[in-house]
């Protein structure tokens, strides 16, 4: 899947670009080179509808002179000089940021579990076999169930980062992802559930997400009528239901620039208790096999496992090199420096501050689902939400809808609800009465969170 010389070609191309930068006497420069290859297939209406493969990539160039930076990208190494000239032109008309310089080279320890050689040997036929097995498994779990959407994919990415400050980093990472939309359409009633799984390693066989998808498509059938309208009640949000909200609201709230600009609901609260005292939040970019793990960040700075909230108290934040220099120069904060938290969406854009693998943990003993429901007594279980992107990362407020929701009374599930609105404030919901489940899963991109019981702060309005 990945050509044997892919990394060598990126190294060679990066050297040619760096040689041009040296000839032009650019003060500081940084080159990112990426090349990805992969295979994927889609499933629709219980059948494999499309199988495809290919690759893509290129080079990104950031130049920096007197605190001004410009960025340009290219696919063909032959256009390197034009791209560099474009980056220089952009830098010369950009505002200067006092104290902004590219990071110097520092030793970085390798992170394990980011590459699986077996994925390189996976071809379209292997994915087709896995897809056929998934389709058959869904049918065996419930004869009414059909995989109406989703797909499988594997990829390998070769990457090189080179800078004028002596940073030389290269490597290959792999990914295997599976997602399925399972539907049951019977007696004029359609229910469905989406579940997925992603890993840096080969996903052997049929992942748990397949059975979970069938289970939720079954659980949400034959909805019951709930009287009384909107109510403030405890809610168990599964990892899948909470992940999208958590990634939009909480991951934004811990960025240093948002905190410094008073754009986070935790602004001005450094050292203070902001969530329940048993809870901690860690941004772990060095997690073995983590979806967003790496030994260096998008600027070549060594990554770390950083505690953001320790036993309820806000003790940290995330910074990239430019953002930290910019906010200090603006007088928004007295001191800030990179925390190795820069990330890239690819070679076509400069690095930005971002979280990596965000972990929510508790010092209390975790609860299984039955224990969570016993604590709840009366409330709801929410497995997915629609409209998470509308959540307000500044205030923490959100108002979403769900059609994957169960009613709980006296600790027992009594039935599903056809549709409901779910609203609340994530900051307030996390302040007390929060209990974590015992099964941590990846959701919302790279949020490592279990099922969570919120005893307060959420309102459910059944349709």
> CA-CA distances (angstroms) from residue 80 to 59, 73, 87, 348, 424?
9, 8, 11, 14, 50
Which of 153, 184, 218 is the endpoint of a domain? 218
CA distances from 447 to 198, 251, 443 (A): 12, 9, 5
Q: What is the pLDDT of residue 227?
A: 86
Total Cβ atoms within 10 A of residue 416? 21
Q: What is the pLDDT of residues 428-442, one digit of tens each?
A: 999 999 999 999 999
CATH number at residue 203: 3.30.2290.10
| Residue found under tokens 């052997």 | 204
pLDDT for 2 equals: 87
Tell me which residues of the chain have a pLDDT lower than 70: none
The DSSP result for 54-87, as a single string, is: EEEEEEEEEEEETTEEEEEEESSGGGHHHHHHHH
What pLDDT, on a 0 to 100 scale, did the predictor assign at position 342? 98
The verdict on 86 and 109 lying in the same domain is yes
Beta strands 313-314 and 452-454 are unpaired
pLDDT of residue 306: 97
CB atoms within 10 A of CB 273: 13
Give pTM, 2 decimals.
0.94
Beta strand 447-449 with 358-362 is parallel
Residues 87, 24 within the same domain:
yes
pLDDT computed for residue 331 by the predictor? 96
Task: Check whether residue 264 and residue 204 sit in a common domain.
Answer: no
In angstroms, the CA 69 to CA 93 distance is: 9
Q: Is residue 72 part of a domain?
A: yes
Measured CA to CA, the distance from residue 229 to residue 342 in angstroms comes to 45
Phi-psi region at 375: left, alpha or beta (left = phi > 0; alpha = psi -120 to 50)? alpha
pLDDT confidence of residue 1: 80
Structural domain including 282 reads 223-463
pLDDT at position 375 is 97
Secondary structure element (H or E) that encloses residue 428, with its range:
helix 426-429
Beta strands in 107-167 (DSSP E): 145-163
Of 175, 198, 218, which marks where a domain is finished? 218
Q: How many domains in the chain?
A: 2
User: Rounded to an integer, what distance in angstroms lies between the CA atom of residue 433 and that of residue 453?
Assistant: 8
């Amino acid at each position: 899947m990945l050509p044997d010389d892919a990394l060598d070609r990126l190294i060679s191309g990066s050297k040619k670009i760096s040689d041009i930068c040296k000839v032009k006497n650019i003060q500081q420069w940084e080159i990112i080179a990426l090349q990805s290859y992969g295979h994927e297939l889609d499933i629709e209406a219980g059948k494999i509808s499309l199988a495809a493969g290919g690759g893509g990539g290129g080079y990104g160039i950031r130049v920096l002179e007197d605190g001004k930076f410009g960025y340009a990208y290219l696919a063909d190494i032959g256009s390197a000089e034009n791209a560099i000239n474009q980056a220089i032109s952009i830098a010369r008309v950009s505002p200067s940021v006092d104290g902004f310089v590219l990071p110097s080279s520092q030793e970085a320890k390798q992170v394990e579990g980011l590459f699986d050689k077996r994925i390189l040997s996976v071809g379209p036929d292997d994915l087709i076999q896995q897809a056929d097995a998934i389709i058959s498994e869904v049918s065996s779990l419930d004869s009414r169930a059909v995989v109406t959407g989703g797909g499988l994919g594997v990829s390998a990415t070769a990457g090189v980062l080179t800078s004028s400050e002596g940073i030389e980093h290269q490597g290959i990472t792999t990914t295997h992802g599976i997602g399925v939309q399972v539907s049951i359409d019977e007696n004029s009633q359609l229910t469905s559930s989406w579940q997925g799984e992603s890993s840096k390693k080969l996903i052997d066989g049929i992942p748990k997400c397949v059975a979970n998808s069938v289970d939720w498509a079954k659980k949400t059938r034959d909805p019951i009528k709930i009287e009384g309208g909107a109510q403030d009640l405890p809610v168990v949000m599964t990892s899948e239901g909470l992940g999208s909200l958590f990634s939009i609201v909480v991951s934004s709230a811990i960025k240093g620039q948002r905190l410094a600009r008073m754009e986070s609901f935790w602004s001005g609260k450094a050292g203070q208790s902001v969530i329940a005292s048993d809870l901690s939040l860690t941004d772990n970019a060095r997690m073995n096999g983590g979806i967003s793990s790496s030994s260096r960040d998008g600027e070549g700075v060594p990554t770390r496992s950083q505690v953001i909230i320790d036993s309820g108290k806000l003790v940290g934040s995330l910074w990239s090199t430019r953002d930290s220099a910019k906010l200090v120069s603006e007088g928004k904060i007295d001191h800030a420096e990179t925390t190795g938290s820069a990330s890239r969406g690819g070679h076509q854009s400069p690095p930005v501050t971002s979280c990596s693998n965000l972990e929510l943990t508790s010092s209390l003993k975790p609860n299984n689902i039955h224990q969570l429901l016993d604590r709840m007594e009366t409330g709801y279980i929410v497995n997915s939400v629609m409209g998470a992107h509308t959540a307000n990362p500044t205030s923490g407020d959100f108002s979403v809808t769900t059609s994957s929701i169960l009613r709980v009374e006296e600790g027992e599930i009594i039935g599903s609800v056809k549709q409901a609105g779910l609203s609340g404030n994530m900051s307030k919901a996390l302040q007390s009465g929060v209990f974590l489940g015992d099964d941590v899963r990846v959701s919302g991109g790279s949020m490592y969170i279990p099922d969570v019981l919120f005893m307060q702060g959420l309102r459910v309005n059944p349709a």
